[in-house]
Amino acid sequence: MENNLDLLLQAKKGDDSAKEKLVEQNLGLVWSVARRFTGRGYDIEDLFQIGCIGLMKAIDNFDTTLQVKFSTYAVPMIIGEIRRYLRDNSTIRVSRSLRDTAYKAIYARENYLKNNLREPTIMEIASEIGMEKEEIVYALDAIQSPMSLYEPVYTEGGDTLYVMDQVSDKKNKEENWVENLALQDAMNRLNDRERHIVNLRFYEGKTQMEVAQEIGISQAQVSRLEKNALRVMRNYLR
């Protein structure tokens, strides 16, 4: 099996056979990502095909001069392509009972954090709301699908706040958002306030309410500024 970097270098020079080999060698990576999205009403083969589009985009856009493994760059690209597909083609609705369980868990977590000044464990949340920890984990995972996270919670002054705005985004803290590839340049396109909000939300994992309290504006304003910042960055990174 040839090295990914060698094949990438050949593919960059227009070698189609090298690109084909690169795709073949990384199909297992696509399958492993696609399986994370099973159980949402979509055929695994369809998710795999969409993931392959993300893989090919990763091959086309990967910078071979950076000291980053190809798989580290490719995985977020594959995930992003599948999430985009789910968002654009979503026919799934999380059941009312699952949403209720998730909202109870989120509310219990916020209360616990306020009273104890630390994050509760799943067991502590389960004890607080009188449910099994497995039920809570399943419900929280269910509402993290793209559609449920975009469900509106309330509107203030024309600005709609969504479920995703109420939950700390710890996954982003772990993924480092595509290993800083071109990200710093995109961040530099933001003004100081927008850059500060993005840092607090996606690097420190704070909720919009926590960000609003820290910088002294309303949560609706945080939501509006965050959405604008992400739009600017997304347009730059395309």
Residue 157 has a pLDDT of: 53
| pLDDT at residue 146 tops 70 | no
Q: In this structure, is residue 147 part of a structural domain?
A: no
59 and 114 belong to one structural domain: no
Residue 160 has a pLDDT of: 55
Q: In this structure, is residue 58 part of a structural domain?
A: yes
Given 88, 109, 124, the domain boundary residue is 88
192 and 219 belong to one structural domain: yes
This prediction's pTM: 0.41
User: Domain of 15: which CATH number?
Assistant: 1.10.1740.10
189 and 163 belong to one structural domain: yes
Cα separation, 98 vs 140, in Å, equals 8
Q: In this structure, is residue 203 part of a structural domain?
A: yes
Q: How confident is the model at residue 142 (pLDDT cuts 50, 70, 90)?
A: low
User: Domain of 160: which CATH number?
Assistant: 1.10.10.10
Q: How confident is the model at residue 53 (pLDDT cuts 50, 70, 90)?
A: very high
Amino acid at position 5, single letter: L
| pLDDT at residue 50 tops 90 | yes
Q: In this structure, is residue 63 part of a structural domain?
A: yes
Q: In this structure, is residue 225 part of a structural domain?
A: yes
DSSP 166: G
Which residues have a Cβ under 8 Å from the Cβ of 183 and sit 6 or more positions away? 177, 233, 237
Question: Averaged over 192-204, what is the pLDDT?
Answer: 84
Q: In this structure, is residue 123 part of a structural domain?
A: yes
Alpha-carbon distances, residue 227 vs 195, 208, 221, 233 (angstroms): 12, 12, 10, 10
Q: In this structure, is residue 204 part of a structural domain?
A: yes
Tokens of 41: 């009403």
| pLDDT at residue 26 tops 70 | yes
Which residues have a Cβ under 8 Å from the Cβ of 145 and sit 6 or more positions away? 40, 86, 90, 92, 94
Which stretches of 26-169 are DSSP H helices?
27-35, 44-61, 70-88, 96-116, 122-129, 133-142, 146-149
Tally of domains within the chain: 3
**Domain carrying residue 187:** 152-238
42 and 78 belong to one structural domain: yes
For 162, the 3-state DSSP assignment is strand
Given 142, 174, 207, the domain boundary residue is 142
* 218-232 confidence digits (pLDDT tens): 888 998 998 888 888
The H or E element spanning position 65 is: none
| pLDDT at residue 49 tops 90 | yes
Residue 63 has a pLDDT of: 83
Q: In this structure, is residue 201 part of a structural domain?
A: yes
